[in-house]
Structure 1
Amino acid sequence: MPRDTQATAVTAIIRDDAEALHSARTLAEEFKQQSATRDRERRLPHQELEAFSRSGLWGISVPKAFGGAGVSNVTLAEVIRIISAADASLGQIPQNHFYALEVLRVNGSPAQQARLYAEVLAGQRFGNALAELGTKTAHDRTTRLSRDGSGNGWRINGRKFYATGALYAQRIPTSVVDDNGVQQLAFVPSNATGLSVIDDWSGFGQRTTGSGSVVFDNVYVEADDVVPFQTAFERPTTVGPLAQILHAAIDTGIARAAFEDALHFVRTRTRPWIDSGIEKAVDDPLTLHSFGKLGIRLHAAEALLERSGEFLDRAQAETTPENLAQASIAVAEARAISTEISLEAGSTLFELAGSQATLAEHGLDRHWRNARVHTLHDPVRWKYYAIGNYYLNDVNPPRRGTI
């Protein structure tokens, strides 16, 4: 499978939050058109990603000091929500790109920041190779980083899975364990000798994210391309909640798409139930009741997403343990409700729209499938535990990036 290993030729530089939001809304209208077809045929979105990159949106979290827009986390989450509502896979592909940029912001040296941020502003995309199969827990890592024989760099050996975006990336940030057992993040060029990206993602949702395997067979990486990783969770940093707010944004976007498609289908195609005694489905009181409940929950999810961005902005500006805990809990609340409303909207759509909505040509099942697959990233039941423990017992959430 061909990979996008070259940076885009001409990439816009977005200057502020308003420009980022305008660009996202414009792209979303374009991405929405063939979203169902791409999902049905598993048509990988190479052209769409080129447009996404050229828009400059992949560089909006680069700090102003390095030439980026340095947008707020409210804006960053809203951009991902907007794109995800148009195509959930396109919304998820840059998630770990922004995650890697946050690791770079909090742990990278000034020289690393200047060089890698410049690549992003020039149009390069970062994928990810973080998770592994077959380990005791989802957070264990076995991929090794060992000194190269020349002493000038490192060698990587291991295999990754759930590598969202790696198929489309120019660099693949990779979690590795060094000779001292400490995790590092290596920003590996995707054309490195010995690196293989395998398109073996077969999930029934998020079908075009390219979330398959990456294999490292004695892959060389420059010492300057290795950034400390484990230390981002050994002290107060916003790496964890930054990752989580983007997940919440993806799910909130999926929920919005399912809700809007349900509205459209009921307005234009759905017939009233015979016992209702009404002429149009839109006048069915039980349907109105269900749409009312969905609408309220969706608006609550969107409001909590915005609120969590505000808490995260505060924690980035002043990263104290207290601010970080508040941000993590606010993001967990947004993540919990976005999980539930995305699944609820994707399922209730069919109850309200009726049997016609299940026909393959409409592609409406993709919303529930996308939500079900993406919300398995980490269990929502543990978010409620962490939130309750915080409010009742003043226990701060863990700094793993999953709460």
Structure 2
Amino acid sequence: MSTEALNKLPTTVAKSTEQSGGHASITAIGQGRVHVIRDDAEAIDVATALAAAFAPGAALRDRERRLPVAELRQLRLSGLWGITVPREYGGAGVSYATLARVFAILSAADGSIGQIPQNHYFILEIIRHEGSEAQKQFFFERVLAGDHFGNALVEPDVRRPEDRKVSLRRDGEGYRVDVRKYYSTGALFADWVPVAVADEEKRHFLAIYPRTAEGLRVVDDWASFGQRTTASGTVIADNAYLKPEWLVPHSVNADHVKPVGPVGQIMHAGIDTGIARAAFEATVAFIRQRNPKADDAPAEAVWEEDQLSIREIGDLAVSLHGTEALLDRAGLLIDRAYASDLAADWTRAAIAVSEVRAASTHSALLITNKLFELAGTRSTAPDHGLDRLWRDARTHTLHDPVRWRLFDVGNYYVNDKVPLRRPKWAEQPNQPKAMPEGPEPLTGEPPQPRLAAGL
């Protein structure tokens, strides 16, 4: 799908869906008919076209903190939200190697836009494994219509998911929820906001609210120096009523690797890999621009650059390509685990994902730093907007401490240990801290949200 074709999606998608059968009659809640992507190749083509459309404005959106409302509307109409919906429910059911590549492609264009879909696909994975048949049919159909999940999972001052405060109580046939969340990436733009809750028996659920539900507030108070336009701020549920059919079980402990873990983490690896790719290409382009060839130089003439800098570019290329290979490998191992459903295969998939999480963290930080070292002082000028790449990489790599990924890998190879939740001895009591790490959440009475409507 070309960029030109992508720009025409609002007028052409209706025809394509009418011809495609299956879910052709679905109408989105927002404006416009939504395309339904049919296979892996089309998903990559659509992501590539979207990335080409998003990249030119990424630096300006970051500099002025312009929320990517129009870009997410394009993403909605493209059908990309629905690519992991299983085929038996009308979706493409793409491979997880493809999903990881989609994240790398989008994140190379804009590290903020690349982050926003992560929770959407993560929530879809939970519904796939723990939702009832009726919930699967309902939510999968809504996603194929273009609906988007945000998230409200992390509570300030709660270190582990299993330690969430009691926030869910019965009210007649339904429920009431009282809780405050932070790091709520995508909630401001979403149609649905899944809120992680616990009842008095310490059972865990997702309370999936329409974003405009009474008693639910989404506050744009995200203030990080990187990934500035993800709107990863506060969600407040204040005695918010929930229909019983919108409560999905979400177990947080297990004695084996669950699919949602590796799937959630490989998307994060894709984000860092994409940022690393963008920084590598920017480094090479800046060096070539700094020392251009003469107009009359033969085609085989080389760019004049000091040999040590050329050697450093080679080192960055090895790091990047190794990370991209590990990303593909991890995705294929998740696909294999889904096919076999063997615990041993899920363990291998989880270890492969931990390996690429470590590698992508290293590559993203290395290359975004080397960009300035090799490109020189001129590269720091605000007009280039290259600092965005380092800030996005530094912010996102804090999402999940890489030291624990390396511990999981080493513990597996040395002690044959399955990578589950952190060992109890590693916890530090009486030091509550929200996870993942990042800017401190808002306290006190929140301001009114900047954006009051979804897409």
Taking structure 1 as the reference length, the TM-score comes to: 0.93
**Among candidates 59, 65, 76, match of residue 99 of structure 2:** 76
SS at match of 1:13: coil
Asked if 1:130 is matched to 2:160, the reply is: no
Inter-CA distance 69–249: structure 2 relative to 1 (3 Å threshold)? same
Aligned residue pairs, count: 390
1:57 and 2:80 correspond: yes
Residue matched to 2:295? none
**2:35 aligned partner, one-letter code:** A
Q: Which residue of structure 1 lines up, in the alignment, with residue 316 of structure 2?
A: 294
SS of residue paired to 2:176: strand
1:211 aligns with 2:232: yes
Matched, 1:170 2:161: no
Matched, 1:200 2:212: no
Match of 1:373 among 372, 385, 395: 395
1:121 counterpart = 2:124:
no
* 1:90 matches 2:90: no
- Secondary structure in structure 2 of the residue aligned to 1:377: coil
Instruction: Write the distance in 2 (CA, Å) between the matches of 1:314 and 1:106.
Output: 17
Aligned: 1:361 with 2:383: yes
TM-superposition CA deviations, 1:173-224 (whole Å, max 9, x none)? 1110012111111111101001110000000000000100000101111111
User: Aligned to 1:158, what secondary structure does the other structure show?
Assistant: strand
SS at match of 1:133: coil
Q: Distance in 1 between matches of 2:162 and 2:59?
A: 33
Take 1:13 and 1:328, find their aligned partners in 2: how far apart are those partners?
Answer: 30
Q: CA deviation at 1:324?
A: 1.1
1:43-76 residue CA offsets vs partner (Å, 9 max, x unmatched): 0000000001110011000000000000000001
Identity %: 50
Residue 39 of structure 1: how far off its partner (Å): 0.5
- Cα distance change on mapping 1:143 and 1:301 into 2, 3 Å: farther
Once residues 134 and 160 of structure 2 are traced to their aligned partners in structure 1, the CA distance between those partners, rounded to angstroms, is: 34
**Pairs within 5 Å for 1:1-400:** 6-137=29-160, 140-142=163-165, 144-148=167-171, 151-230=172-251, 233=254, 236-269=257-290, 282-398=304-420
- Going from structure 1 to structure 2, the CA distance change for 1:196 and 1:356 (only over 3 Å counts) comes to same
**Inter-partner Cα distance in structure 1 for 2:291 and 2:302:** 8
Normalising by structure 2, report the TM-score. 0.83
Q: Which amino acid aligns with 2:197?
A: V
> In 2, distance between residues paired with 1:124 and 1:282?
51
Which stretches in structure 2 are left out of the alignment for 5+ residues?
A: 1-27, 293-300, 423-434, 437-455
Structure 1 residues 233 and 87, CA gap change in structure 2 (3 angstroms): farther
Q: In 2 relative to 1, CA 215–91 (structure 1 residues): closer, same or farther, beyond 3 Å? A: same
Amino acid in structure 2 at the alignment position of 1:299: H
Amino acid at match of 1:158: V
Per the TM alignment, residue 231 of structure 1 is displaced from its structure 2 partner at its CA by: 5.8
Distance change in 2, residues 1:201/1:385 (3 Å): same
Q: CA deviation at 1:319?
A: 2.4
Structure 1 pair 20/280, CA: closer, same or farther in 2 (3 Å)? Answer: closer
**Partners of 1:161 and 1:282 in 2: CA distance:** 49
Which letter maps to 2:396? Answer: H
Q: Secondary structure at the match of 2:94?
A: coil
Residue 284 (structure 1) shift: 1.1
Q: Which consecutive unaligned segments of at least 5 residues does structure 1 have? A: 272-278
Distance in 1 (alpha carbons) for counterparts of 2:165 and 2:304: 55
Name the Cα RMSD after superposition: 2.0
**Within 1, Cα distance between the matches of 2:153 and 2:287?**
42
| 1:6-30 alpha-carbon deviations (Å, 9 max, x no partner) | 5342110000000000111111100
Q: Deviations over 1:239-259 (max 9, x none)?
A: 000000000000000000111
**C-alpha deviation, 1:280, in angstroms:** 9.0
